[in-house]
Amino acid sequence: MISTSATISASSIIESDVMIGPQVVIGPFCVISAGVQIGEGTIISSHTVITGNTKIGSYNQIGMGSSIGEISQDLKYAGEAAGLEIGNRNRIGRHATLHRGTAQGGGLTRIGDDNNFERGVHIGHDCQVGNATFIGENSGLAGHVVLGDESQIDAMCAVHQFCIIGTGARLLAGSCVVQDVPPYVQAGGNRASPQGINERADAFRQAEPAVREVIHYLYDLLYHQQAAIEKVRLEIARLSAEYPLLCHFNEFFLRSARGIVR
């Protein structure tokens, strides 16, 4: 079903069984395959291909020449049902590649709301991207990566499969990440190592001074005192009752399996 208020270039190909919402704009030479859903007010620039079981929310902007919802690059993929879900108000730069999931990863690549992806960004199969993240030019997430809310990845970064980038964390330009990055930690280099606290994260800047001090204290435990992870977990559990922002650390360490950057 195509809304009567949608604007679609005559040179684009729209297959049957596509749902296109009101005020959607689809530029020239696009291909939209069967099963795709595009929400209200979304703008699709020229030469973009959207395929597979792909659901795109409202008021997104997708740059020209992007490939959205293509099958994964996982060689184990055997054509099983899998999808890609994109939330609302995301800005996706030109020549982006966002792949659908696999059975091994739950069958779904998910991208939240209010994210900003620059030119040439790659989101691999089964990635779980939160809200209000930033990914710089030509950076890529391999399969199964988790990217926490408000995290920032600068240009030309690579994140290894199954890594977790915590809430409010930042990767400096040109970094290669092969282990997990805790919340609000800034990391850089090849291989990435901790470079202090990401004090630019909105949640950190808006937190009470006491909360910011606690985050610095946890960083000191992890990286200056090089405390055992179990000791840090106990400290987080003790402090979480008083400082709810530390729930991000609890969630991170419950999921972290690759070890953290050191």
Active site residue 126: yes
- Beta-carbon contacts of residue 96 (< 8 Å; ≥ 6 apart): 62, 63, 66, 67, 68, 117, 119, 120, 121, 122, 123
pLDDT band at 79 (very low <50, low <70, confident <90, very high): confident
Is the pLDDT reported for residue 53 higher than 90? yes
Q: Is 83 a catalytic residue?
A: no
Of these residues, 125, 144, 160, 248, which one is catalytic? 125
- For residue 76, give both structure tokens: 């184990």
Choose between 8 and 72: higher pLDDT.
8
Whether omega for the bond prior to residue 191 falls within 30 degrees of 0, making it cis, is: yes
Confidence of residue 83 (pLDDT cuts 50, 70, 90): very high
Angle between helices 229-240 and 247-255 (to 10 degrees): 150
**Residue 76 confidence (pLDDT) above 90:** no
pLDDT level of residue 77 (50, 70, 90 thresholds): confident
Token duo for residue 155:
């240009």
DSSP string, 47-70: T-EE-SEEEE-SS-EE-TT-EEEE
Pairing of strands 170-171, 185-188: parallel
Which residue among the candidates 93, 136, 143, 166 is catalytic per the annotation?
A: 143
pLDDT digits over 216-247, tens only? Answer: 999 999 999 988 989 999 999 999 889 999 99
38 neighbors 17 (Cβ within 8 angstroms): no
Q: Which one, of 254, 238, 234, 236, lies nearest residue 246 by Cα?
A: 236
Active-site position among 74, 87, 93, 126: 126
Question: What is the radius of gyration, based on Cα positions, of the chain?
Answer: 20
Active site residue 202: no
Contact 163, 176 (CB under 8 A): no
pLDDT band at 19 (very low <50, low <70, confident <90, very high): very high
